[in-house]
């Protein structure tokens, strides 16, 4: 067996191989780092201008330094964690029901052409109503504040899931269904073997849109009579003029929202059968 070293291997300095992952990491993060740096610079400049404006100096605690100091205090004391868990419970519970309702309805109106013709106008009408407009009805219809908030989240999340799922079903090649019928496939088999695998990326894209809309709706929805959650924490910080805490909670909302969106994006890439 030959033990010769190839020219390509000779050309690579063995002592610097450990630098390659660091270089790759730098290349991957250089643009996100530039974006974050620009955002922080604009935030710092805004805080500086506010602090030096006699009419707005009372809001100087919105600046980065007081905000991150308050954020560190919230994390170190553990005060922020129950607040985060309350909001995550509501958003995940609302998304669960949005998926349970949205995916079957989307499959139905996507597979049956006449169902889409019948449902399109009323669904589009309901979709264009702000979820927060249902707040008075939700308060009257549900026995608890938590249930009312979950209902508002469902009303925000269900429409992107329905229409994205229906779009995915309508993109399926009709010949697939003909072949499946000729092979004796039942409706359940077509759903399991053809429809669901084919629309998975569309469903996840709809869920990603639903997460964004629902996360935006969650904060004002938690202004209702609950005593927990990120929206309640913002309202409480505003009432007590704790602007550094308010800004810290806004940062937490952005971080969690970005994390949820990143999870959805990862799942879309993971289950994108077109790429494979």
> What pLDDT score was predicted for residue 18?
65
| Residue span of the structural domain in which 240 resides | 76-270
201 in the same domain as 171: yes
137 in the same domain as 15: no
Among candidate residues 16, 33, 59, the one where a domain is terminated = 59
Give the Cα separation of 243 and 246 in Å (integer): 5
106 in the same domain as 226: yes
Contact between 57 and 180 (Cβ < 8 Å): no
* Per-position b or e across 182-199, b if 16+ CB within 10 A of its CB: eeebeeeebeeebbeebb
- Choose between 114 and 6: higher pLDDT: 114
Residue 251 falls inside a structural domain: yes
Residue whose token pair is 């602007």: 243
Residue 275 falls inside a structural domain: no
Residue 40 falls inside a structural domain: yes
Residue 165 falls inside a structural domain: yes
260 in the same domain as 136: yes
Residue 17 falls inside a structural domain: yes
139 in the same domain as 55: no
The domain tally of the chain equals 2
**pTM higher than the cut 0.95:** no
158 in the same domain as 120: yes
Contact between 244 and 69 (Cβ < 8 Å): yes
Residue 2 falls inside a structural domain: no
111 in the same domain as 14: no
CA-to-CA dists, residue 147 to 46, 90, 97, 224, angstroms: 39, 9, 12, 11
> HEC string of 219-272?
HHHCCCCCCCCHHHHHHHHHHCCCHHHHHHHHHHHHHHHHHHHHHHHHHHHHCC
229: region left, alpha or beta (phi > 0 left; psi from -120 to 50 alpha): left
pLDDT greater than 70 at residue 48: yes
Residue 86 falls inside a structural domain: yes
Angle between helices 230-239 and 80-111 (to 10 degrees): 130
249 in the same domain as 122: yes
The per-residue pLDDT for range 168-216, each reduced to its tens digit, is: 888 888 787 777 777 777 767 777 778 888 888 889 999 999 999 999 9
209 in the same domain as 86: yes
99 in the same domain as 37: no
177 in the same domain as 139: yes
pLDDT greater than 80 at residue 267: yes
Residues in the chain: 276
Average pLDDT over residues 215-220: 90
Residue 276 falls inside a structural domain: no
Give the Cα separation of 61 and 53 in Å (integer): 13
45 in the same domain as 80: no
CATH number, domain with residue 113:
1.10.3720.10
Closest CA to 224 of 236, 216, 232, 215: 232
Tokens coding 161: 């899931």
């Amino acid at each position: 067996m030959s033990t010769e070293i190839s020219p390509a291997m000779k050309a690579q300095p063995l002592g610097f191989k450990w630098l390659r992952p660091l270089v790759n990491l730098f290349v991957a993060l250089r643009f996100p780092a530039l974006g974050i740096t620009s955002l922080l610079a604009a935030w710092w400049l805004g805080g500086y201008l506010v602090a030096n404006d006699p009419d707005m100096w009372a809001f100087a605690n919105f600046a980065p330094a007081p905000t991150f100091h308050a954020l560190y205090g919230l994390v170190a004391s553990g005060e922020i964690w129950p607040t985060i868990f309350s909001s995550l419970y509501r958003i995940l519970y609302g998304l669960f029901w949005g998926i349970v309702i949205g995916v079957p309805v989307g499959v139905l109106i996507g597979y049956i052409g006449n169902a889409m013709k019948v449902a399109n106008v009323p669904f589009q009408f309901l979709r264009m109503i702000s979820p927060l407009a249902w707040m008075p009805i939700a308060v009257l219809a549900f026995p608890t504040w938590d249930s009312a908030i979950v209902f508002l989240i469902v009303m925000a999340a269900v429409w992107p899931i329905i229409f994205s799922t229906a779009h995915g079903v309508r993109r399926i090649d009709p010949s697939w269904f003909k072949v499946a019928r000729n092979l004796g496939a039942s409706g359940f088999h077509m759903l399991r073997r053809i429809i669901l695998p084919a629309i998975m990326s569309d469903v996840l894209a709809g869920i990603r849109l639903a997460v964004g809309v629902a996360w935006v709706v969650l904060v004002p929805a938690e202004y209702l009579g609950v005593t927990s959650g990120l929206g309640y924490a913002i309202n409480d910080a505003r009432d007590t003029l704790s602007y550094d805490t308010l800004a810290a909670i806004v940062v937490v909302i952005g971080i969690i929202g970005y994390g949820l969106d990143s999870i959805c994006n990862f799942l879309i890439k993971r289950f994108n059968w077109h790429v494979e």
